[in-house]
Amino acid sequence: MIEALGLEAEADMARTKLVESFPDRTRGYAERSMDRFRLVGTNPTDDPRIAALAGAIQKQSVVRLRFCTPNEQSIHPTHMELRDGQWKVWDALSDGWIEMCDWGRVNISRKAFSSR
């Protein structure tokens, strides 16, 4: 998930700083634990729309879902959530979640919105 949001380098740096701040014994335990346990499997974040929407949230950009279709929808994305392998985005305009299966083609506008 961190990779999809473009925050992998920042997350690695934060984890390194956190582990380095531990006492020696705890740091050793944490490092061994990180070596022993890994998340492996299909990555549900390979869809480029996830990174695009994450960037739009950070920049408060207006987004059009189902771009160039009769059902096009403009949203103000403020949050994303990954639950049970399924992404959804919170739209501040409609005050509701929109599931990934309803996103269609995504267009990120240059227009910004102000958060409430």
> Which residue ranges does the chain devote to CATH 2.30.30?
48-112
**SS3 state at 9:** helix
CATH 3.40.50 fits 48-112, yes or no: no
pLDDT at 78: 95
pLDDT band at 111 (very low <50, low <70, confident <90, very high): very high
What is the per-residue pLDDT across 52-83, written as a single tens digit (0 to 9) for each? 999 999 999 999 999 999 999 999 999 999 88
Confidence of residue 98 (pLDDT cuts 50, 70, 90): very high
pLDDT at 82: 87
Give the DSSP letter of residue 104.
-
CA–CA separation, 31 and 79 (whole Å): 32
Is pLDDT above 80 for 1? no
Percent of the chain with pLDDT over 70: 90
Residue of 100 and 9 predicted with greater confidence: 100
Instruction: Tabulate helix, strand, coil % of the chain (nearest 5).
Output: 35, 25, 40
For 13-57, how does the pLDDT look when each residue is reduced to its tens digit (9 = 90+)?
Answer: 999 999 999 999 999 989 888 877 765 555 555 789 998 999 999
Model confidence, pTM: 0.68
Closest CA to 91 of 101, 107, 78: 78
Cβ neighbours, 10 Å, residue 39: 6
- Please provide residue 32's backbone torsions phi and psi, each rounded to the nearest 5 degrees: -65, -40
Amino acid identity for residue 69 in this structure: T
- Residue 8 pLDDT: 81
